[in-house]
Amino acid sequence: MTALQSRQPVIVLVRPQLGENIGKAARAMLNFGLVELRLVTPRDGWPNPSAGPAAAGADIVLEKAQVFESLADAVADCAHVYATTVRKRGVTKPVLTPEEAARDIIIAPGRSAFVFGPERSGLETDDVALARAIITVPINPEFASLNLAQAVILCAYEWSKHARSSVDGNADLVQPTVEDILPPAPQEDFEGFFDQLCAMLEPRGYFELESRAVTTRRTLRSVLTKAGWNHLEVRTLRGVLSVLRRRPGSKPGDPRD
């Protein structure tokens, strides 16, 4: 796999409803050279016989498609996660156009994912909270409606355009060296740190107000995802939490009270 191929974004469809729309999304992906499709709990299961005809020959995408039980699982190996949405979802994230996101993906080390929500309702707030940034496009406010394949093709086209420019040497893009900058940690590393932190905060009453517990947890997650810590920084933070759990004066391995 070439360096450019390793930076091809993953397309993640969260709770897609119709097999035809999965097939059309696969067709849009292959039009621009993307082949890695991940599905999160598709409504009608997988494989879906309606997907093949709609894919119009993009069989390689459907054959390689993977199914996951949660969005967190689907993007666990991705350092850069972009949630596509046209609605405000109660979370504060950097907002990018597909072109800006594509430009970032080409120069950034680590895997990336474009995440798309169900056809009827789009991504839920908790889905968007998992992402590092939001992708949206200027659109007619009186008809802000893109179908799933249209949304996929916007992102796939912009990635393809910047990928070609990078290969031809026509883009003013510079690849940071691994020594200069490490990519953000994979999502599963961050989730381990976040779960450890919440487990320590829970018995101290941080989420005590039940009516606000979900919002408080979501806000905390949103604040922590902004930093984009690399794997060494996440490991350091988890070490800090482990030390804070010990009794003052105790040493590693000593039994806790």
In this prediction, residues 199-224 reach a mean pLDDT of 92
Angle at 78 between CA 75 and CA 79, to 5 degrees: 135
- Residue 194: its pLDDT value, please? 95
84-136: pLDDT as tens digits = 987 666 678 899 999 999 999 988 889 999 999 998 888 999 999 999 999 99
* Whole-number Å distance between alpha carbons of 152 and 19: 15
Q: What is the largest CA-CA distance in the chain?
A: 67
> Which structural domains are found in the chain, ordered by start?
3-168 (3.40.1280.10), 187-245 (no CATH)
- Residue 88: its pLDDT value, please? 61
Q: Is 205 helix (H, G, I), strand (E, B) or coil?
A: coil
* Whole-number Å distance between alpha carbons of 240 and 226: 19
- Residue 63: its pLDDT value, please? 97
- Residue 180: its pLDDT value, please? 63
172: pLDDT confidence band, cut at 50, 70 and 90? very low
* Whole-number Å distance between alpha carbons of 99 and 6: 19
* Whole-number Å distance between alpha carbons of 207 and 209: 6
Query: What's the mean per-residue pLDDT of the chain?
Result: 87
Could you tell me which residues are beta bridge partners of residue 38? 12, 66
| DSSP state letter for 136 | -
- Sheet of strand 37-40: strand arrangement: 66-68, 37-40, 10-14, 112-116, 80-84, 133-135, 95-96
> Burial level of 2, CB count in 10 A (0-12/13-18/19+)?
exposed
Q: Contact, 256 vs 245, CB < 8 A?
A: yes
Specify which of 32-46, 89-103, 204-218 reaches the highest per-range mean pLDDT: 32-46
With tokens 């967190």, the residue in question is 72
130-155: pLDDT as tens digits = 999 999 988 887 887 789 999 999 99
4-26: pLDDT as tens digits = 555 799 999 999 999 999 999 99
200: pLDDT confidence band, cut at 50, 70 and 90? very high
Give residues with Cβ within 8 angstroms of 107, minimum separation 6.
173, 174, 175, 176
**Alpha-carbon torsion, ordered 98, 183, 123, 57, to 10 deg:** 60
Q: Contact, 45 vs 17, CB < 8 A?
A: no
45-96: pLDDT as tens digits = 999 999 999 999 999 999 999 999 999 999 999 999 999 987 666 678 899 9
